Structure formats: C-alpha cells, structure tokens
Amino acid sequence: MTKTGLFISFEGIDGAGKSTHIDGLAAAFKAQGRQVTLTREPGGTPLAEKLREMVLHDAMDALTEALLIFAARRDHLQNVIEPALARGDVVLCDRFTDATFAYQGSGRGFDLGVLQQLEHWVQANSQGLRQPDVTVWFELDPAIAAVRLAGARVPDRFEAQPVAFFQKVSDGYAARAQADAQRFVRLDAAQPRESVWQQLQQQFVQRGWLDARLV
C-alpha cells in the first residue's frame, strides 16, 4: 500500500445516516493495513471540541458561528489533519468546509464571499489550499431526514431547524458538488443501509483505495 495520506470528508444534512458508514469504512481501511485517523468537525481537538459545544448549543449570530467553526477548523487542521496526512494516514472526517458553505452559507444565508476568504486563510498550507481528496455526500430528501430524526434525541441548534432550512442546506451541498464535481461522490442515502454501503465501497474500490477481494 502507498504511504500517501488520503483525506476523505463526509457530508449530508442531519439524519442522512453517514455515521455508521464512516465507521464501516474505517474498519475496511484498517483491515487492509492502513492507519486511520477518524475525526469530525466542528471538533477533533480539545479546543475545537469546546468550540463545537458552543456552536451547537449557544445562541449567536451567523458571523460568530462561522468564525468559531473556522477557528475550530484551523486548530484541527494544524494539530490533527495535517500531521496525520504527513504520516500517510487515511483521514476520515465527519464534515468539513462544505458543511460551512451548506449550513452557514446556504442555510443561514451568510455571505459566501466571506466564507471563501475564511476558507483560504484557514486551509492554506505550503502546497496551496487543503481540501479533501474525496467528499462523500449522502444526499437525502429533507422530508425523509426529518422523519428519521424525529424523536431520536434532544435536538441541537441545527437539528431543531425546520425542513425548509435543510432544503436550503441541501441546495448548498448541490452547489458545492456542482462546482467541484471531481471531488464529490454523491450517494443516494434514501436507499437501504446495505445498498448505500455497496455504493460507497464500490467508489473506493474503483479508485484503487480498497481491495475488492477484502471488503
């Protein structure tokens, strides 16, 4: 296996069901001898996890929200993601910057130009702009996601939003996917879990990142 690190992010509206698949993918990579760094945003470092708590539970305006999320991202990139990629790990990150464009940009209506500037400041490294090698987008009709989420647990500031908000978030993901079609893998998350897993696995086998005989 190659020593080159792989950076994979996972996106979708709340309730799209990405978590179990991220765990499955981590297990598949480990079974094939890769070191895996499993992480999430906002979060992934002690500081970023504190910021996550605030972002998910404390009332604030959209600019404050965006700044805290990018502050968390900076700390996470410097202390976890970049070192892991330098070691050659597979980094599986539950959400990354596409979520900021989808939730704060499209969902909250916050200025996309400002988000782009923040993205450039925060993700700049010696090679240019750090972006995931692949972003797996679990696409799901917001009405279906709402049914899945109902009664699941005490909702945070995002989960408590109405279906119309998630429709905007979903449109935000679609715009990001269209602008960077090479990077995005779209999965139909309305399918049964096993079929979503098959779609996901196939994508990684096709890229030569997982061995078909072993998954």
User: Considering beta carbons, is residue 14 or 139 the nearer one to ligand TYD?
Assistant: 14
Q: How far apart are CA 59 and CA 77, in angstroms?
A: 26
12 with 103: CB under 8 angstroms?
A: no
Candidates 99-107, 116-124, 131-139, 187-195 — which segment interacts with ligand TYD by CB under 6 A? 99-107
Q: Is 189 in the site for ligand TYD (CB under 6 A)?
A: no
Q: How far apart are CA 206 and CA 201, in angstroms?
A: 9
Q: Is 176 in the site for ligand TYD (CB under 6 A)?
A: no
Site string for ligand TYD, 44-83 (x = CB under 6 A): -------------------------x--------------
At its nearest, how many Å lie between ligand TYD and the CB of residue 29?
Answer: 20
Of the residues 37, 39, 100, 106, which one makes contact with ligand TYD according to CB under 6 A: 100
Q: How far apart are CA 151 and CA 170, in angstroms?
A: 22
Q: Is 95 in the site for ligand TYD (CB under 6 A)?
A: yes
User: Considering beta carbons, is residue 29 or 103 the nearer one to ligand TYD?
Assistant: 103
User: Considering beta carbons, is residue 19 or 78 the nearer one to ligand TYD?
Assistant: 19
Q: How far apart are CA 185 and CA 137, in angstroms?
A: 6
Q: Which two tokens stand for residue 90?
A: 């597979």
Region label for 208, one of left (φ > 0), alpha (ψ between -120 and 50) or beta (otherwise): left
Q: How far apart are CA 163 and CA 50, in angstroms?
A: 28
Report the 10 Å Cβ neighbour count for 72: 24
User: Considering beta carbons, is residue 89 or 94 the nearer one to ligand TYD?
Assistant: 94
Chain positions contacting ligand TYD, by CB under 6 A:
14, 19, 41-42, 69, 94-95, 99-100, 103-104, 158
